[in-house]
Chains A and B, each alone.
Chain A
Amino acid sequence: MNYFPDEVLEHVFDSIASHKDRNSVSLVCKSWYRIERYSRRRVFIGNCYSISPERLIARFPGLKSLTLKGKPHFADFNLVPYDWGGFVYPWIKALAESGIGLEELRLKRMVVSDESLELLSKSFANFKSLVLVSCEGFSADGLAAVAANCRFLRELDLQENEVDDHRGHWLSCFPESCTSLVSLNFACLKGEVNLGALERLVSRSPNLKSLRLNRLVPLDTLQKLLMRAPQLVDLGIGSYVHDPSSEASNKLKHAIQRCKSIVSLSGFLEVAPRCMSAIYPICGNLTTLNLSYAPGLHGNKLTKLIQHCRKLQRLWILDRIGDKGLGVVASTCKELQELRVFPSDPFGAGNDAVTEEGLVLVSAGCPKLNSLLYFCQQMTNAALITVARNCPNFIRFRLCILDPVKPDPVTNQPLDEGFGAIVQSCKRLKRLSLSGLLTDQVFLYIGMYAEQLEMLSIAFAADSDKGMLYVLNGCKKLRKLEIRDCPFGNSALLEDVGKYETMRSLWMSSCEVTLGGCKTVAEKMPSLNVEIINESDQTEFNLDEGQKVDKMYLYRTLVGHRKDAPESVWIL
């Protein structure tokens, strides 16, 4: 099989970037496996408990970049106990002891202690990039260690983490010799940073392309930073409140106008709508705009802003934009690919919310739309059918009707036909989230048509086990299935336990599966960890097999039961 010297194959493999492709390459034959593993630089591990750091290191000694994900997705919505797991420390410790030259670490939903960050900062001389998304467990002290010790740091990107950072000293810990920063994102931090240190840091970082500030960076500092970094490509404004007629505002306008490379704008954690006109000069270049933390922007001021953004490809917005505002998006943003509409008032009356009308308008005006997250008051089958016809290119389609079991308000029917149209039309659909009143029928459609589906989220849907069976039997590429509050029980769960080995994970909460059913899965499939999570009362781990299980999370693994589970988690 091997007619080329190893170096040639290695060179060829270098051009194969996707994880999937590299995994496939490694399966061709023994020598390809060998060459691939030595030349592999980037590894993605979607579930940190599926493999151990030791085995990772043994197989990929040349590892430079590691991506790890910890808690299940539903942890975002408070459905997973805070101490469930997902600790990064053992990974960092093992990597540090192995001599691997780690340069990049990207973590999502993991517990990251200050101790881990300190160890990280001291163990890898060439460490360049730290990206933490939805993590917790660290404070400003950990960040200070990273700033102080990672001499060639290029990227420190903190996205939506819960950080204990009342002390802002960490930013002052970047040494004067640190001039390599390309990306700095501390928008999620709540503490004040030393503004002088921030200005000096930006001044000595000529390669800085991405800067996202937190709410406590005042306007005059923002203006100075922009003057020092006109080469910025991505800007996150923390606080944006000023008097448009003031001198400070004029200076800011001038500074913004100099930044001709900015294509991505976000933040606006605090904003006064009258001030947005200062942004207009750069709107024409924007491809990404995130206003989803700015409930103060709505009505005319918002639509006027949108009308300047003709090149927009990605828009994250609050539902205060309304259907009319989405109409403006539809007529202005012809290049739009991704739209996310978040609820500004998740529990409120939703006076400003969006409905099916807004979605239909966008689907008609933006033919390139392929990714959607849409929180709305209501949806109709007719609208979904229209959307499916207008936009057959959806890769991600996540619809969340705020009332979880709401039918089509016009016909009072379930939304089976509407979602059915989506899966039938969008042949490349990989991710789907359902909501509204749904019967088993929608799952029949999903099983029949959603051939590329990899991730499915279901809540308050279906009538019987048939729903789950349609999906498990039909969706051959399914990797992640998460279900809450559906009438799926043991016969669905146990129909084909081998299927779960082909998937990353299955989450079922408030369904009909019993302890006995879960135990059966665990017995038949030693390659799965079947976890029962019970938060309410420790003593409820009674052994009654007929007891319904509140939360079950199962996932495939090569390394057996994890040793770090808390008391609320029972691994069968």
Chain B
Amino acid sequence: MESSSAYGNDLNLKATELRLGLPGTTDEETAAPGVRNNKRPLQAEDAGEKCGANGKSEPQNETAPPSKAQIVGWPPVQSYRKNNLQAKKTESEPGLYVKVSMDGAPYLRKIDLRVYKGYPELLQALENMFKFTVGEYSEREGYKGSEYAPTYEDKDGDWMLVGDVPWQMFITSCKRLRIMKGSEARGLGCGV
């Protein structure tokens, strides 16, 4: 369940990826094995500030202080730990509650999209909540075998069929959900 698996090669999903950190920074700056930093980092940016020390006896190879990303093996965190921590940054975000309406239901519900790992879980939860079945999804024909279709309103205000885009993209662009029923639903899922 590496985070990288969620990102396709063609959709530039990194642009919509939710991460901690400043925009424009990446977190994959770890120097890979084989990338060596031949330069010895400066002991202190101003050598004169070192009290009581004679300073290094040989000249430095470079004058800029080392950026953390350049030093192989620093900070000394086990690779296993580094690899298994990166994937989890999205969980530190607060909940993403969206309204869910179902045609014919007397009142709406709210769910937290972050609680679900993917579409199967979300659809299962919706089915349980509203007591219906959603049918089988296919890219070509939408949801077959049911008179219901799960849809959502995206950031642009368009009504989209749930399931077409990768999960991460979906949860960041979904403003509300609506479970359409009947002919309206079938019109949306029509493959022609």
- Residues of A participating in the B interface, judged by any CB pair closer than 8 Å: 74, 76-79, 81-82, 134, 160-162, 188, 190, 215-216, 239, 241-243, 269-272, 274, 292-296, 298, 320, 342-349, 375, 400, 402-405, 407, 412-414, 433, 437, 439-441, 457, 459-460, 463-464, 484-485, 487, 510, 535-536, 550
CB <8 Å contact, B33 and A241: no
Residue B183 at the chain A interface, CB threshold 8 Å: no
- The answer for the CA separation of A450 and B127 in the assembled complex, in Å, is 65
Given A77-B76, A241-B117, does the pair A414, B1 have CB atoms closer than 8 Å?
A: no
Q: A536's closest neighbor in chain B, by CB?
A: B36
CB <8 Å contact, A439 and B68: no
Residue B115 at the chain A interface, CB threshold 8 Å: yes
CB <8 Å contact, A510 and B40: yes
- The answer for the CA separation of A400 and B1 in the assembled complex, in Å, is 30
Tell me the smallest distance from the CB of B117 to a CB of chain A, in Å: 7
| Residue of B29, B76, B114 touching A272 (CB-CB under 8 A) | B114
Residue B52 at the chain A interface, CB threshold 8 Å: yes
- The answer for the CA separation of A77 and B83 in the assembled complex, in Å, is 12
Q: List 13 A-B contacts (CB under 8 A).
A: A78-B73, A134-B78, A161-B80, A216-B1, A243-B112, A320-B92, A345-B21, A347-B27, A400-B75, A405-B44, A440-B53, A463-B53, A550-B36
Q: Beta-carbon contacts of B23-55 to A below 8 Å, as 1s and 0s?
A: 001010111111010001111100001111111
Tell me the smallest distance from the CB of B60 to a CB of chain A, in Å: 11
Q: B67's closest neighbor in chain A, by CB?
A: A347
- Residues of B participating in the A interface, judged by any CB pair closer than 8 Å: 1-2, 20-22, 25, 27, 29-34, 36, 40-44, 49-58, 65-66, 68-69, 71-82, 84-85, 88-89, 91-92, 95, 111-112, 114-115, 117, 125
Tell me the smallest distance from the CB of A345 to a CB of chain B, in Å: 7
- CB contacts (< 8 Å) of B21 on chain A: these are 345, 348-349
Given A463-B55, A536-B36, does the pair A402, B68 have CB atoms closer than 8 Å?
A: yes
Tell me the smallest distance from the CB of A486 to a CB of chain B, in Å: 9
- The answer for the CA separation of A269 and B78 in the assembled complex, in Å, is 16
CB <8 Å contact, A269 and B84: yes
- CB contacts (< 8 Å) of A190 on chain B: these are 1-2
- The answer for the CA separation of A439 and B2 in the assembled complex, in Å, is 42
- CB contacts (< 8 Å) of B52 on chain A: these are 439, 441
CB <8 Å contact, A460 and B43: yes
Tell me the smallest distance from the CB of B45 to a CB of chain A, in Å: 8
Q: B111's closest neighbor in chain A, by CB?
A: A243
CB <8 Å contact, B80 and A134: yes
CB <8 Å contact, A342 and B72: no
Number of A-B contacts (CB under 8 A): 151
- CB contacts (< 8 Å) of B20 on chain A: these are 345, 348
CB <8 Å contact, A459 and B85: no
- The answer for the CA separation of A216 and B33 in the assembled complex, in Å, is 29
- The answer for the CA separation of A536 and B33 in the assembled complex, in Å, is 10
Given A190-B1, A345-B20, does the pair A77, B36 have CB atoms closer than 8 Å?
A: no
- The answer for the CA separation of A452 and B152 in the assembled complex, in Å, is 66
CB <8 Å contact, B88 and A293: yes
- CB contacts (< 8 Å) of A440 on chain B: these are 53
Tell me the smallest distance from the CB of B35 to a CB of chain A, in Å: 9
| Residue of A81, A242, A274 touching B33 (CB-CB under 8 A) | A81
Given A241-B115, A402-B68, does the pair A346, B77 have CB atoms closer than 8 Å?
A: yes
Tell me the smallest distance from the CB of A58 to a CB of chain B, in Å: 36
- CB contacts (< 8 Å) of A76 on chain B: these are 76, 78-79
| Residue of B51, B69, B115 touching A242 (CB-CB under 8 A) | B115
CB <8 Å contact, A405 and B43: yes
- The answer for the CA separation of A162 and B50 in the assembled complex, in Å, is 43
CB <8 Å contact, A77 and B43: no
CB <8 Å contact, A405 and B84: no
Tell me the smallest distance from the CB of A215 to a CB of chain B, in Å: 6
Q: Which of A77, A270, A272 has the most CB of B within 10 A?
A: A77
| Residue of A160, A402, A441, A510 touching B81 (CB-CB under 8 A) | A160
CB <8 Å contact, B29 and A347: yes
Tell me the smallest distance from the CB of B99 to a CB of chain A, in Å: 16
- The answer for the CA separation of A188 and B77 in the assembled complex, in Å, is 17
- CB contacts (< 8 Å) of A345 on chain B: these are 20-21, 27
Additional A-B contacts beyond A270-B88, A484-B73 (8; CB < 8 A)? A77-B73, A78-B32, A294-B91, A296-B91, A347-B68, A404-B75, A407-B49, A440-B53
Q: B78's closest neighbor in chain A, by CB?
A: A76
- CB contacts (< 8 Å) of A536 on chain B: these are 34, 36
Q: B34's closest neighbor in chain A, by CB?
A: A535
| Residue of A77, A215, A243, A294 touching B77 (CB-CB under 8 A) | A77
- The answer for the CA separation of A389 and B93 in the assembled complex, in Å, is 40
CB <8 Å contact, A464 and B41: no
Given A404-B71, A460-B43, does the pair A160, B80 have CB atoms closer than 8 Å?
A: yes
